[in-house]
Structure 1
Amino acid sequence: MRQQHLIATAAVGAAVALCVPFGATAASAAPSGRAAISDSQPDWVQHSAPTGTVDQNQQLSVKLYLAGQNQAGLAAAARAVSDPASPQYRHYLSPEQYRAQYAPSDNSLAAVRQFLAANNLHAGAVPDNRLYISATGSVADVQKAFGTSVRQYQKDGQTIRAAATQTTVPASLSGVVTAVSGIASVGNTMKNDHTVEGGTTTQPQRAATRSAKASPDAPPPPAFVPAPPCSDYFAQKPGTGLPTAYGQVPPYVTCGYTPAQLQGAYGLTRSVQHGFDGRGVTVAIVDAYAAPTILADANKYATDHGQPAFHGNQFKQTLPPSFSYGYDDKVNGDQCGEQGWYGEETLDVEAVHAVAPGANVNFVASASCNDSDFLDALNKIVDKKLANIVSNSWSSIGENEDPDLLQAYQQVFFQGALQGVGFYFSTGDDGDDSTVSDDHQPEINFPASDPLVTAVGGTSLAVTKSNGYGGETGWSTFSTTLTNGQWATPLAGTISGAAGGGTSKVFTQPWYQQGVVPGSISKKYSSTPARTIPDIAAVADANTGFRVGETQTFLDGSVKYAEYRIGGTSLSAPLTAGIMALADQVSGRPHGFVNPALYKLAGTGALHDVRGNLSIPAVARVNYNNSVDASAGTSTVLRTFNVKTSIWVRSGYDDVTGVGTPNGEAFLATLGFQH
């Protein structure tokens, strides 16, 4: 685990300073005449011995990331266009204006091209904003250019290529090249944040590079079928015959909320019916890979639930030239789980459309689950201005999974803020991450922790019989199994899913959180206040989750469409993005980076201040043991809501739900007309 530190907020009060984490190797460690740079290598390489050499003639594809111009001015400008109190509020730049003022300079690009040519590396694609330049060359030439050696390592039964020593460039490029990716055959990877039935879904992870335009290698994912009985709305169906829990017989879990129920619970029904349905606004969704049946599934789901199908060019996919770490990669092995990402795209698309049926949706696919591929997808959105709202249901585990590309990520987020593009990131489904991090210490996830994005936490939501708001509490659900006719003790059992949140160990407190976030949260690790997440929240608990429809592969080999219940902050993020599409339409212009405006709503009627418990403490659920039918038997579990962990809901801002959840028309109107 790399050393962590707090990146100081700029003295002018900008969103965040652009600098490289302390964990990166200092330039003084480089040989004379060379400057050390970050290279996107898995952390484990630093503690592993090489097991072999790499063919010196093997061709590698790398990306060199370049520093932008006027970084101090960039931070100040991002604050000015995002702060409702500023005269420059929502006076955005065009991509061309951004490039002229803040993108890496032509001279920097020319110097890097010269460096590549001198080392027999062939320069390739450069995005319009010059965030990076790609290059290809032999292993031998890459080693010479970057002053390192490339070796083979063994990890999880696979042979992985990586640089054995710190990457360097000539000292003349110090401050010009900020990072390089591609030397490692597998970089740091991101995971999706959806849960089925309260447990994190893990699909078979086999992979192979393939053409994005060809028929997908991966078939539709293994089927999941929720077992009956279940409730049509919260706590509708009593658990007759079940033992009591917390002094009462628990009702059965919901069957999964529909679009009408979510619109009703969040007070959006009348707005949507009157044409404030997101029309004219484009929401981009970023995930890895591309589900082959997504449009047919989303349209069937919508029409089956009384929603309009996507029409004309309302839905589109922006795909990379090829995918990697796909379905049957014999070299890299199980890295990404293509089928699981199919389910993620399905959830995200259907969730956005559920609350914003008039919004355009552009699915922008990452070529793999590798962090540099996700970064490329995000950059494509701001570089080509593909959308004003970007939903991201993925993250690392912890903040120190991706320190090497941090500066490049932040350049993209700064460009988004200046162009009126808002990024919404799920906070994860493992609470404070202490059960999944390598050192079992509390962590929060990146990119959600970045002060330039909106981190979306999760709740457990009650929807009434009339599709009304029946209350919310923080998502922290524990599971107990029915054994020999009795609930096992303790009733709360073990954690089955919880919204991510907590205090950053990397970023200091951004200006917009000052005066809203309690010191007991922001000063958890230091006397210096730190960035905390989430910023806002929506329903995420799979036990009060969303019903989705997806083409799946059943045990008998048949492939067909079916519906199931799903949750996770992968649900809350696209729901929030969809609600923001309505807010943008109401306002008549994009909100861009919305956090400063959101925090001004704290404590007002525009938000539900999530706290306490739901009307019942727990629900019962029946599971098929084989996930599909009763042929292998069933199991009954009790799911207890809002079990207090190291993060919990409380009055005002908290580290599970942030400033709260959107309160329908009051949220749309108040946010929409801030000036």
Structure 2
Amino acid sequence: MHRSVARRSRQARTLRHQIGPALAIAVLLASPLAAGLVGERGFSAIAGGASGAVPRPSALVNETYVPTSYSEVGYGLAGAVATTRALPAELPIVVTLGFSNTSELSRLLHALSDPSSPEYHHYLTAGQFDAAFAPSSSTYAAAVAYFEALGARAMHTFTDRVTISFEASPSSVDRMFHTTVQEWALAGRAYYAPATPVELPVELASAVSAVVGLSSFARASTSSGSGAVPMTPSLPAVPAIHAANPSGYLPPAVIQGLQYQYGPDLQVAYDEQSLFREGGYPTNAVIATILWQGYYNGTTPTSTPYGELNPGQPVGAFVPSDVQAYFNQTSPPGQPHAVAIGVPVGGAMPSGPLASYDTTGASTENTLDMEMAGSLAPGATVFDVYGTMPTYPELDTAFAFILNPNASYPALARVSVISNSWGDLDAVHTEWTQYVEEATARGITVLASTGDSGDYPNSPWQVGNPANVNTTFPSSLATDTYGVLAVGGTAITMNALTLQINSSVVWNVPSEQMGTTSGISPVYAEPSWQASSSANGLIRGLGRGVPDLAAIATRVLLTITDNGYQYNATNASSIGMSYGEGTGTSVACPVEAGVIAEIDHVLGAQHQAWLGFLQPTLYRLADEQYAPLIQTPTTGYLNGTDYTSPLPTLPVSDTVNGSNHYYAAGPGYDLVTGWGSLDAYNYTMYVLATASAGVNGRLSGVENNFTLDALAVTSHGAQSFFNASIQQNLFIANSLGAPVYWIQNVIYINWTASGWAMNDSGWIAYPFYGLYYSLLIYEYNFPLVGQLVRLPATFDLRTVLDPGVGFNNQSIEYFVGSHQLSLPVPGAAYIIGSLWYNYSWQGTEHENGPFPGNPIPGGLSPQFGLVGGPSGGLGEFSAPTAGSMVAKVLPYGSSTFETASTRTFYESIDQTGEDAQGLAWTNGPSGQWTLGTSAGSTVQGVLSYEPTGQYLANFTAGGLPAGTLWFVNISHGASYSSTTPTISVPLPSGTFEYNISSSDPHWEPLQANGTVTIDGAPRVIDVAFGALPSSIVFFETGLPAATRWTVLLGSGQNGTSSQPEIAFYLLNGTYSFRVHAALGEWAAHPRLGSVTVAGDTVAINITFSLEEYSVSFQATGLAAGTGWFVNITGGANYTSSSSTITFLATNGTYLFSAGTNATYDVVPPSGSLTVAGSNVSQTIQFSLPNPGTTSYPGWIVDLLALVGAVIAVAILSVILLTRRRPRPPS
């Protein structure tokens, strides 16, 4: 169902039309590669009854058979007619066993998604999940033995004991399942399916939850119309492309007035830059995709540099050099590149250059997935796990392998995101339900594109769906406690300079009846997280609504090789050049997968759990974004311009314009783009718990104890009702360190006939005006009637942040004496209490403030002052105004307020918005300040910041070689280094985050990041160092499929594989390497070399070509300067007037002829020679003919000899005939 139009000059190729049902199964043959995939966690190859003695049938064979809950699409379809079409020789089968302890699994899945549960996001490891929920080993072994006994071959088993995959002949399948698999026809569609109910032995039937492969009716399709866009027959040199901004991103290409995007530019569009700055690049993140390989389905064989391709021949999934070239061309300088690794399963062909000859579109889809996911997760490892065909046995095997990787792919065990850019008829697939349950329990996010039909009834991507059913599997799979994140498509345009999104609309192309697929599933019920949200206003309990999110789905540039010719993405920025383009929701799905992988990385770096099954949180958070602003008599909102959310930043970027055939976009949730796209930074700030523990001066509270003895003030301003105000101002940062709230704890003062009347007020201004210059909202409390206060009077103003639990449970508590006011501050992490403060916002580093362009120390520190009345009022103070103040702060993690460090501040960094003249603040003992008057003074008040007390945090290194320079970095603070085992860092009370590193790349701390709490006393922190493992990945191109090759490292390690990648994990350092192929005639380039690793993955490209050897012909007997020749049959012709002719040739046998135009006898005049791994020499002897004889060319001599032989045979025949006499009659 999922495809879009390829922008190609030739006719678009459609997978559905090119691969017939026979081929869909015929290619599923046993593979030595698959049989070798055995590891500590993975599937094992089990030899079946294909050879040798047939095993005795299991005891299960003789048991009573009972029907199973078999429900594959295609079984029992009304109107289907049986045909005599031959079944495939082998059927791929996947059998799934149900989990054990399912009631406990249901309880666990509910707890994992319930923020109030102590088990919330406490995910299981793979081993823990298997121990708790895997079927018993005896049941699994019995099932394996049963199928093996009845003819299963190429069997694969998995560590979690859930899946068994194998192949079997139709007759064996009939015996296994007590049915008859029959070919059918329905509405012109040929397929096979069981003719009778599927049955299994009673004990096995109760253990088996799903059987897949008995029907070929269901067939997945991709969500991409991507491809190369040929513009010219040749590609001249591409001119330099200038970066869009100093960060090194490329500007979008503009072609015929339309904007085309480079993948890495989406990092800016979806707000990842500041995540990279705060949490680093996701170099430890792992993404997996599920797809299938491509095929050459031309009508005739075709020749390639890698051998001849015949129609129906598999070609692998992608060209590895395309993905590497894409990141080289489009990534900003210095940014790590994602590593793409192909994982063929079920006998699929390893990927390599042959994939460019794919005619089904599969190789483009695989390439697109890796280029998009890797663009949004720079430095991550992207595993492309693919089977042989778009059938469920293949897709099931791929998913099972991702959950159970073997030792050949150890990094796959760290997968946190699985992307699916394909879809099929909306249906229940029990095995996928189980796989998604396991993924959810382990904290893995599963995504799927919704499709490309645009909900058009006659769309080519809608064919096969029942009427009025638009939703597709697996994007529709969802329940209350687990599910697939459904991703739809948008069309965006960017600001060419900033790369921010200027506009976003629904992706829809009515003229081609394609666009983002959406709707309400008739198969899956509406989950509770939709029913309890505003989304239910559209869904109304009718079913699971899709999509959940949406992202770019059109005009994305790719690097892709087609028919052996590479089309570079960057060609699009040059007029008339050829380029690759991606279109469809299969662009959107890996884009969102990359964003989620980056968020997972940030969470993991702070020792928090991954996002996992994120829909319950997403819907609660997105609902909060659109919650109405509620007014009450004492608390409410003063609305600003066009910012109407209760949240200080927007976690989702909504698409409100456009529609597909059925549904229109609008504010909030809609049934065409869901909630819109994730804003990576903003979403992270809500799901990341208070994590910036290393910020120097991080506070939980601020207190100003102020005594006002006397007051004389003249007021100026728009609101002359108030004469003055006592103000405590501060900023609150989110968990990533950016100031998002401006807080005011204020006492308003006005003169009445009875004396000074005062009102308490708590203000929250957001979004922070330093980040959003024109978007202000004030949430306030404003008692209507002031209270008379007689001076002198003491005011104890305390403002305390309650961190709460969950994204929307934070609050700010205002205290003025015994009066308390509580107001919500969702996403708040801590009060900024540093004199110097740095933070990142939308990829830019800012220092101090309050405006980013005003980097004066103290601008973000807590401030206290006696100033004019609101708003913007000027208070001119005079004698006898007087008072005193003591400032205290509550360090984060501490339980006691401490005397703050303090200093005066002026209008340049004033936060109040009001002004004071004529006041004098004088610092006294014990942190006490005295207030008086001074004519002409412009002092505004007193700053409070980190406590004056400093205590030593003593970091002690162990395991580091003597004399090695190492570092302690305090987050948002100073950096310290030493070559001794101890580094002492002075810190005030509070909790601080630190990072440990070494100058020697061979050594790393076993725990590089941590927190230390200082509570009025020194601390000792032990730091252990160990040797650092790094990775080197060698990628080969050029070898014939399944050819084994070897890399020898100078470290003594070696790796051999028949796949295009060989990976090593080893200590940092420089290593020599040597590469060779098992087939000696193939030479590696480079064959020798060295590589240096220093913590990051290093990729090395190896190109193989046939080895060439010297072939030398030596002429003797020729007069000096005489020309002669050597002609190679079917090859080149060589001439020379010297004594030697030399050329290069690969292994093989070659026919030659030699001669000269002069009159010479030649020995030998023709012949053959064989090149077999070494140089070859052949001597040609020339001689003048004997005197008195005539020399003839060799061919005349040969012809005369032949004529003579014929005459001799004729004479002999005549003699024999004449000697025969007729026998006389008897």
Question: Could you say whether these structures have the same fold, taking a TM-score greater than 0.5 normalized by the shorter chain as the test?
Answer: yes
1:168-183 matches, cutoff 5 A:
168-183=199-214
Q: Distance in 2 between matches of 1:443 and 1:55?
A: 31
Q: Distance in 2 between matches of 1:137 and 1:462?
A: 52
Q: Distance in 1 between matches of 2:283 and 2:549?
A: 23
Go from structure 1 to structure 2 and tell me whether the alpha carbon gap of 1:192 and 1:139 turns closer, same or farther (over 3 Å shift).
closer
Q: 1:226–1:565: 8 Å Cα contact kept in structure 2?
A: no
Corresponding residue number in structure 2 for 1:414: 437
Corresponding residue number in structure 2 for 1:193: 223
1:61 deviation in Å? 4.7
Q: 1:427–1:456: 8 Å Cα contact kept in structure 2?
A: yes
Go from structure 1 to structure 2 and tell me whether the alpha carbon gap of 1:518 and 1:150 turns closer, same or farther (over 3 Å shift).
closer
Q: 2:323–2:370: 8 Å Cα contact kept in structure 1?
A: yes
1:297 deviation in Å? 1.0
1:393 deviation in Å? 0.8
- Residue type of the alignment partner of 2:223: D
Corresponding residue number in structure 1 for 2:1006: none
Corresponding residue number in structure 2 for 1:580: 596
Corresponding residue number in structure 2 for 1:269: 273
1:140 deviation in Å? 3.1
Q: Distance in 1 between matches of 2:135 and 2:415?
A: 23
**Which of 255, 261, 268 is the matching residue for 1:257?**
261
**Which of 301, 308, 319 is the matching residue for 1:294?**
319
Go from structure 1 to structure 2 and tell me whether the alpha carbon gap of 1:602 and 1:312 turns closer, same or farther (over 3 Å shift).
closer
**Which of 509, 518, 524 is the matching residue for 1:507?**
524
Q: Distance in 2 between matches of 1:293 and 1:235?
A: 25
> Alignment partner of 1:413: what SS?
helix
Corresponding residue number in structure 1 for 2:373: 352
- Larger RCO (CA under 8 A, 6+ residues apart): 1
1:418 deviation in Å? 0.8
Q: 1:457–1:569: 8 Å Cα contact kept in structure 2?
A: yes
Corresponding residue number in structure 2 for 1:566: 582
> Alignment partner of 1:64: what SS?
strand
1:57-456 matches, cutoff 5 A:
60-113=91-144, 115-116=146-147, 119=150, 124-135=155-166, 137-153=168-184, 160-184=191-215, 186-196=216-226, 224-225=230-231, 252-254=257-259, 256-272=260-276, 276-289=280-293, 294-307=319-332, 314-323=339-348, 339-384=360-405, 385-396=413-424, 398-400=425-427, 403=428, 406-432=429-455, 434-435=457-458, 436-438=462-464, 439-451=466-478, 452-456=483-487
Question: Which has the greater radius of gyration?
Answer: 2
- Residue type of the alignment partner of 2:341: K
Q: Distance in 2 between matches of 1:224 and 1:565?
A: 11
1:223 deviation in Å? 5.3
Q: 1:307–1:357: 8 Å Cα contact kept in structure 2?
A: no
Could you list the runs of 5+ residues in structure 2 that have no partner in the other structure?
Answer: 1-63, 234-243, 245-249, 295-315, 352-357, 406-412, 569-577, 626-648, 690-805, 808-1226
Q: Distance in 2 between matches of 1:534 and 1:289?
A: 27
1:87 deviation in Å? 1.6
Corresponding residue number in structure 2 for 1:248: none
- 2:472 is the alignment partner of 1:457: no
> Alignment partner of 1:280: what SS?
coil
1:115 deviation in Å? 4.1
> Alignment partner of 1:315: what SS?
strand
When the two chains are superposed, the root-mean-square deviation of aligned CA atoms in Å is 3.6
> Alignment partner of 1:448: what SS?
coil
Corresponding residue number in structure 2 for 1:37: 69
Q: Deviations over 1:107-134 (max 9, x none)?
A: 4324434644675656932211122224
Q: 2:252–2:262: 8 Å Cα contact kept in structure 1?
A: no
More moved, 443-452 vs 118-127: 118-127
Q: Distance in 2 between matches of 1:259 and 1:140?
A: 50
Q: Deviations over 1:228-254 (max 9, x none)?
A: xxx9978978x8xxxxxxxxxxxx211
Go from structure 1 to structure 2 and tell me whether the alpha carbon gap of 1:646 and 1:377 turns closer, same or farther (over 3 Å shift).
same
- Residue type of the alignment partner of 1:287: L
1:410-559 matches, cutoff 5 A:
410-432=433-455, 434-435=457-458, 436-438=462-464, 439-451=466-478, 452-479=483-510, 494=511, 496-523=513-540, 528-540=541-553, 542=554, 545-553=555-563
**TM-score, reference length from structure 1:** 0.71
Q: Distance in 2 between matches of 1:362 and 1:399?
A: 26
Q: 1:289–1:338: 8 Å Cα contact kept in structure 2?
A: no
- Residue type of the alignment partner of 1:570: S
> Alignment partner of 2:404: what SS?
helix
Corresponding residue number in structure 2 for 1:331: none
Go from structure 1 to structure 2 and tell me whether the alpha carbon gap of 1:654 and 1:136 turns closer, same or farther (over 3 Å shift).
closer
Q: Distance in 2 between matches of 1:110 and 1:304?
A: 51
Go from structure 1 to structure 2 and tell me whether the alpha carbon gap of 1:233 and 1:85 turns closer, same or farther (over 3 Å shift).
farther
Q: Which has the higher strand share?
A: 2
Percent identical among aligned pairs is 23
Q: Distance in 2 between matches of 1:441 and 1:390?
A: 29
More moved, 507-516 vs 153-162: 153-162
- Residue type of the alignment partner of 2:454: G
Go from structure 1 to structure 2 and tell me whether the alpha carbon gap of 1:257 and 1:531 turns closer, same or farther (over 3 Å shift).
same
Q: Distance in 2 between matches of 1:552 and 1:136?
A: 33
Corresponding residue number in structure 2 for 1:594: 614
- Residue type of the alignment partner of 1:351: M
1:157 deviation in Å? 8.7
Go from structure 1 to structure 2 and tell me whether the alpha carbon gap of 1:647 and 1:112 turns closer, same or farther (over 3 Å shift).
same
Q: 1:103–1:129: 8 Å Cα contact kept in structure 2?
A: yes
Q: Distance in 1 between matches of 2:456 and 2:135?
A: 36
Q: Distance in 2 between matches of 1:257 and 1:82?
A: 36
Q: Distance in 2 between matches of 1:445 and 1:226?
A: 38
Q: Distance in 1 between matches of 2:371 and 2:76?
A: 37
Q: 1:187–1:371: 8 Å Cα contact kept in structure 2?
A: no
1:101 deviation in Å? 1.6
More moved, 60-69 vs 42-51: 42-51
**TM-score, reference length from structure 2:** 0.41
Q: 1:288–1:338: 8 Å Cα contact kept in structure 2?
A: no
Q: 2:488–2:517: 8 Å Cα contact kept in structure 1?
A: yes
Go from structure 1 to structure 2 and tell me whether the alpha carbon gap of 1:310 and 1:174 turns closer, same or farther (over 3 Å shift).
farther
Q: Deviations over 1:529-548 (max 9, x none)?
A: 522111112111x2xx3111
Q: Deviations over 1:165-187 (max 9, x none)?
A: 22222334333223323334x35
Go from structure 1 to structure 2 and tell me whether the alpha carbon gap of 1:87 and 1:472 turns closer, same or farther (over 3 Å shift).
farther
Q: Which has the higher helix share?
A: 1
- Residue type of the alignment partner of 1:289: Q
> Alignment partner of 1:68: what SS?
coil
1:141 deviation in Å? 3.6
> Alignment partner of 2:131: what SS?
helix
Q: 1:346–1:550: 8 Å Cα contact kept in structure 2?
A: yes
Q: Deviations over 1:437-490 (max 9, x none)?
A: 4443132111101111111112121201223433444424235xxxxxxxxxxx
Corresponding residue number in structure 1 for 2:906: none
Q: Distance in 2 between matches of 1:657 and 1:180?
A: 34
Q: 1:433–1:442: 8 Å Cα contact kept in structure 2?
A: no
Could you list the runs of 5+ residues in structure 1 that have no partner in the other structure?
Answer: 1-31, 197-220, 240-251, 327-336, 480-493, 614-641
